[in-house]
């Protein structure tokens, strides 16, 4: 069973989510159907289990939490959290049509993950202790902040759809439930209010992380610049919401939609630009897939050679420390030095 | 077993007849006392709603069952209404038709508003009161409990109850509840005091609306409506101020031209800002100029035409589900009647078996006394053979009885069996 779970591919859960999305769309035509709901939940749960197994397998393979291991894994964690939200809402309120709005974002995030590198981040991989913890905090705040933005984005879409329906006097399809405007506006505002402080903390810890250690962050790094612009945009929305008296639901929804859309576009765009060989943008955050020999070794066993698609671009570094993330736990480690 | 229902409903009788024959809740106890006195040993249940008055009766002995005339007489005497005023409006059903009728009523197939949910609660309450007044019995208990299950089954297996079909329910349920999360913190302003306003107000009150203001040119009618819903009357002359304060406006003034146009409403929006306002214009002709809805995106204005279209669509969708509901009801009626008839034939089958077993035991004992040399194995074989013979001989009459029972209580065959086999009750 465990070996089977270890062979799960990204395509497995991507396909499951695609089916779930198709079934969600069918609610618009078919209305409420117990059979369709059961099939939807089955595929969503199956996809989620496969997704979880994949992330666990990756964590075992890289000896890193998926949030830190690679850009692809980081994006898959974001998608995993979104699916968790979807599943919880679907089981709690079966009529809620949240999947129609949320699942396309899940599919986009996972598909983008296909385009970016799955190699271990060379800047985080060889460090341990405080720097690793800081890296984890940075990645956690960022992923939760972005999750908040995505949730706000989804709520904003639902708000605008619901408002349009009400203005046009359209009856809601049975089994295609949406929360009322008042609740959507309140939740949307709350999502932004939670997301921006988390993004700020993520940004601050990122700068701190960049200043720690021997190799300092470059503020000309495209990811840093992109994230900085995004953060400024979200902070502007945050301040606007705090200072505008009686901001209407549509006002909040429009702001969230624009800011959230911009954030998602920028983040995904940056990951594609920096995570693929096509554009060759250099960044501290990620790596390009370069075929190179690396040595996998266990502390208890003599090192042996294994060919991995490995880091990284900064091959001019003379001394690359050995990776020992779980030092003291008797775990395996990766020797990042190119083999001659 | 004799099952019977005598009833009038909105199909057969006008509202003024139904009103005169209806049983107010505080007089039901008295009605049951009289029914028990008039028809002892008869199980009775009274179902009285604004759309129907129905008397269900079940009697073990058909000769003692109340007649249509007797039940009509009871209604006449109890309500002090001349029998000729309603006798032609009173229908009667017996046997499986009673079961089918009650199942249709409970499943809301027979309701004025197809699929409306209140009737289930009314049937349940009628059954509870009959039990409380010791008027129901084993048959009516089984019948009403089954009816409630059938109602549940129809709701689960069909879409008969889906989609709202009254203007007020669509307005509040489909639109109002999609705009506001709660109504207990909203100000509801009613313009006019018509029946439609009252109905919409009832739905809003059910959703928790507490601050209700009524403005009407005739303050007396406004007072009555405000009193019924715990609201207060506000001056018609200060309408603009109250419209600015309101979150929900329901209008049914009956004016022959719009009383609120864009020119009048724009200054109100300037005062309120872009506060969300839900306006239900239930007047025909309209009370609010439709152009008001375009003043800003937080004005949600619905006219009676907008709502009627949705009601009609939902009603048609429900109509398509009637066939499915009737098929379920037919199946359940057959099952109930079969169970009921088996219940009626049960005692005679039991008595016949007992009688034949008594004979077989007596004769076997006599045989064993005469043949004392038989060992235990031989005796067991003989006992088994006699038992098989009894079963084989009983099989044809009992099977015939069961077959007949599928069509209703087979009184003739039961009498024949009693006489042929000398069965004593």
Which residue in A166, A177, A179, A183 has the most chain B C-beta atoms within 10 A of its own C-beta, making it the best mutation to test that interface?
Answer: A166
B162 and A186 within 8 Å at the Cβ level: the answer is no
Q: Give me the residue from B162, B170, B180 closest to A182, CB to CB.
A: B180
B180 and A180 within 8 Å at the Cβ level: the answer is yes
Of B15, B50, B291, B393, the catalytic one is B50
Which element (helix H / strand E) includes B211? strand B211-215
User: Chain B contacts of A179, Cβ < 8 Å?
Assistant: 181
Euclidean distance between CA atoms A143 and B302, whole angstroms: 43
> In the 8-state DSSP scheme, what is residue B73?
H
Residue A111, number of CB atoms within 10 A of its CB: 15
User: Chain A contacts of B273, Cβ < 8 Å?
Assistant: 246
User: Chain B contacts of A248, Cβ < 8 Å?
Assistant: 274, 276, 297-298
- Catalogue the E-assigned strands of chain A: 290-297, 304-310, 333-335
A180 and B175 within 8 Å at the Cβ level: the answer is no
User: Chain A contacts of B313, Cβ < 8 Å?
Assistant: 171
Residues B281, B282, B283, B286: is their CA dihedral positive or negative?
A: positive
B181 and A169 within 8 Å at the Cβ level: the answer is no
Q: Give the DSSP letter string of A48-109.
A: HHHHHHHHHHHHHHHTS-HHHH-HHHHHHHHHHHHHHHHHHHHHH-TTB-HHHHHHHHHHHH
Q: What is the pLDDT, as a whole number, of residue A335?
A: 33
Q: What is the pLDDT, as a whole number, of residue A15?
A: 93
Residues 161-190 in A contacting B (C-alpha not used; CB under 8 Å): 162-163, 165-167, 169, 171-172, 174, 178-183, 186
Q: Give me the residue from B159, B162, B177 closest to A180, CB to CB.
A: B177
pLDDT, tens digit (0-9, with 9 covering 90-100), for B259-270: 999 999 999 999
Q: What is the pLDDT along chain A (340 residues), one digit of tens a residue?
A: 556 666 788 888 999 999 999 999 888 777 777 788 899 999 999 999 999 999 988 888 877 777 777 778 888 999 999 999 999 999 998 888 899 999 999 999 998 887 777 777 665 555 567 777 788 888 889 889 889 988 999 999 999 999 999 998 887 777 788 999 999 989 988 888 898 889 889 888 887 877 766 655 666 677 777 777 877 877 887 787 777 766 677 777 887 888 778 777 777 777 666 655 555 555 555 544 433 333 333 333 333 333 333 333 333 333 333 333 333 333 333 333 333 3
Question: Quick check: B3 contacting A, CB < 8 Å?
Answer: no
Shortest Cα–Cα distance, A121 to chain B (Å): 47
B300 and A174 within 8 Å at the Cβ level: the answer is no
User: Chain A contacts of B275, Cβ < 8 Å?
Assistant: 246
Active site residue B50: yes
Question: Quick check: B162 contacting A, CB < 8 Å?
Answer: yes
Shortest Cα–Cα distance, A174 to chain B (Å): 7
User: Chain B contacts of A166, Cβ < 8 Å?
Assistant: 175, 178-179, 300
Euclidean distance between CA atoms A127 and A133, whole angstroms: 10
Q: What is the pLDDT, as a whole number, of residue B101?
A: 96
Q: Say how many CA atoms lie within 13 Å of B185 toward its Cβ.
A: 4
Shortest Cα–Cα distance, A127 to chain B (Å): 51
Euclidean distance between CA atoms A322 and A324, whole angstroms: 6
Euclidean distance between CA atoms A133 and A208, whole angstroms: 12
Q: What residues pair up with A96 in beta bridges, in sequence order?
A: A177
Q: What is the pLDDT, as a whole number, of residue B329?
A: 95
A163 and B297 within 8 Å at the Cβ level: the answer is yes
How far lies B211's CA from each of B179, B189, B205, B273, B280, in Å?
18, 9, 9, 21, 17
Question: Quick check: A340 contacting B, CB < 8 Å?
Answer: no
Phi and psi for B94 in degrees, rounded to 5?
-135, 165
Shortest Cα–Cα distance, B24 to chain A (Å): 37
A166 and B274 within 8 Å at the Cβ level: the answer is no
Residue B381, number of CB atoms within 10 A of its CB: 11
User: Chain A contacts of B278, Cβ < 8 Å?
Assistant: none
A171 and B275 within 8 Å at the Cβ level: the answer is no
Question: Quick check: B290 contacting A, CB < 8 Å?
Answer: no
Q: Say how many CA atoms lie within 13 Å of A120 toward its Cβ.
A: 25
User: Chain A contacts of B175, Cβ < 8 Å?
Assistant: 166, 169
Q: What is the pLDDT, as a whole number, of residue A292?
A: 36
A171 and B163 within 8 Å at the Cβ level: the answer is yes
Q: Give me the residue from A174, A180, A186 closest to B179, CB to CB.
A: A180
Q: Give me the residue from A31, A178, A246 closest to B273, CB to CB.
A: A246
The pTM of the full predicted model, rounded to 2 decimals, is 0.65
Which residues of chain B have a pLDDT value below 70? 406-408, 425
Provide the number of CB pairs (under 8 Å) joining chain A to chain B: 57
User: Chain A contacts of B310, Cβ < 8 Å?
Assistant: 169, 171
Shortest Cα–Cα distance, B234 to chain A (Å): 27
Helices (H), B63-209: 68-79, 96-106, 118-132, 138-157, 167-169, 177-179, 195-206
Q: Are A121 and A287 in contact (CB under 8 A)?
A: yes
Q: State the ipTM, two decimals.
A: 0.71
Shortest Cα–Cα distance, A182 to chain B (Å): 5
B178 and A166 within 8 Å at the Cβ level: the answer is yes
Question: Quick check: A254 contacting B, CB < 8 Å?
Answer: no
Residues A169, B172, B271, B289: is their CA dihedral positive or negative?
A: positive
Q: What is the pLDDT, as a whole number, of residue A4?
A: 64
């Amino acid at each position: 069973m465990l070996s089977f779970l270890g062979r799960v591919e990204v395509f497995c859960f991507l396909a499951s989510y695609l089916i779930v999305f198709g079934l969600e769309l069918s609610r618009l035509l078919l209305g409420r159907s117990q059979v369709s709901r059961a099939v939807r939940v089955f595929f969503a749960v199956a996809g989620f289990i496969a997704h979880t197994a994949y992330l666990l397998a990756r964590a075992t393979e890289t000896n890193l939490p998926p949030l830190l291991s690679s850009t692809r894994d980081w994006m898959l964690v974001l998608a995993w959290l979104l699916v968790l939200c979807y599943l919880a809402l679907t089981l709690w309120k079966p009529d809620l049509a949240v999947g129609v709005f949320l699942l396309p974002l899940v599919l986009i995030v996972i598909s983008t993950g296909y385009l970016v590198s799955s190699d271990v981040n060379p800047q985080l991989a060889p460090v341990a202790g405080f720097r690793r913890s800081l890296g984890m905090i940075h990645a956690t705040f960022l992923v939760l902040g972005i999750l908040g933005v995505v949730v706000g984005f989804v709520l904003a879409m639902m708000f605008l759809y619901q408002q349009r329906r009400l203005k046009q006097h359209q009856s809601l399809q049975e089994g295609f439930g949406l929360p009322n405007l008042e609740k959507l506006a309140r939740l949307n505002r709350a999502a932004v209010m939670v997301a921006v402080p988390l993004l700020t903390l993520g940004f601050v810890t990122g700068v701190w992380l960049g200043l720690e250690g021997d190799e300092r962050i470059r503020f000309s790094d495209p990811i840093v610049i992109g994230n900085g612009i995004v953060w400024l945009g979200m902070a502007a929305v945050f301040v606007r919401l705090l200072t505008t008296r009686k901001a209407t639901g549509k006002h909040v929804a429009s702001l969230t939609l624009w800011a959230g859309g911009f954030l998602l576009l920028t983040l995904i765009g940056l990951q594609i630009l920096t995570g693929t060989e096509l554009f060759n943008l250099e960044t501290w955050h990620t790596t390009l897939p370069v075929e190179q020999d690396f040595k996998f070794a266990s502390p208890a066993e003599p090192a042996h050679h294994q060919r991995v698609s490995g880091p990284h671009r900064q091959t001019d570094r003379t001394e690359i420390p050995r990776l020992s993330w779980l030092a003291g736990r008797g775990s395996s480690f990766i020797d990042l030095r190119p083999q001659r | 077993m004799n099952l019977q229902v005598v009833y009038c409903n909105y199909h057969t009788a006008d509202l003024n007849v139904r009103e005169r024959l209806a049983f107010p809740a505080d007089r039901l106890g008295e009605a049951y006392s009289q029914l028990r006195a008039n028809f002892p040993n008869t199980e009775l249940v009274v179902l009285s709603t604004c759309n129907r008055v129905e008397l269900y009766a079940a009697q073990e002995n058909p000769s003692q069952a109340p007649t249509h005339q007797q039940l009509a007489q009871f209604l006449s005497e109890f309500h002090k209404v001349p029998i000729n005023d309603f006798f032609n409006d009173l229908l009667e059903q017996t046997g499986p038709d009673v079961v089918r009728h009650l199942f249709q009523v409970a499943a809301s197939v027979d309701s004025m508003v197809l699929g409306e949910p209140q009737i289930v609660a009314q049937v349940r309450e009628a059954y509870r009161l009959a039990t409380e007044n010791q008027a129901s019995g084993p048959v009516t208990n089984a019948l009403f409990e089954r009816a409630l299950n059938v109602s549940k089954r129809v709701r689960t297996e069909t879409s008969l109850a889906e989609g709202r079909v009254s203007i007020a329910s669509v307005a509040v349920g489909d639109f109002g509840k999609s705009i506001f999360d709660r109504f207990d913190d909203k100000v509801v302003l009613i313009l006019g005091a018509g029946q439609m306003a009252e109905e919409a107000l009832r739905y809003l009150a059910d959703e928790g609306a507490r601050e209700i203001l009524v403005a009407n040119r005739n303050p007396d009618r406004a007072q009555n409506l405000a009193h019924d819903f715990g609201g207060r009357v506000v001056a018609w002359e200060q309408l603009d101020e109250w419209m600015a304060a309101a979150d929900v406006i329901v209008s049914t003034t009956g004016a022959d031209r719009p009383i609120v146009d864009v020119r009048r409403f724009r200054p109100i929006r300037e005062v309120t800002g872009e506060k969300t306002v839900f306006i239900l214009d239930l007047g025909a002709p309209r009370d609010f100029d439709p152009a008001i809805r375009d003043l800003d995106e937080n004005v949600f204005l619905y006219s009676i035409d907008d709502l009627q279209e949705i009601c009609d669509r939902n009603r048609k969708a429900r109509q398509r589900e009637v066939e499915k509901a009737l098929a379920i009801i037919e199946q359940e009626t057959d099952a109930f009647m079969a169970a009921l008839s088996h219940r009626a034939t049960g005692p005679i089958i039991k008595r016949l078996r007992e009688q034949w077993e008594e004979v077989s035991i007596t004769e076997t004992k006599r045989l064993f006394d005469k043949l004392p040399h038989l060992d235990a194995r031989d005796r067991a074989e003989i006992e088994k053979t006699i038992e098989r013979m009894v079963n084989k001989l009983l099989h044809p009459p009992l099977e015939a009885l069961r077959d007949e029972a599928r069509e209703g209580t087979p009184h003739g065959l039961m009498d024949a069996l009693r006489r042929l086999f000398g069965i004593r009750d």
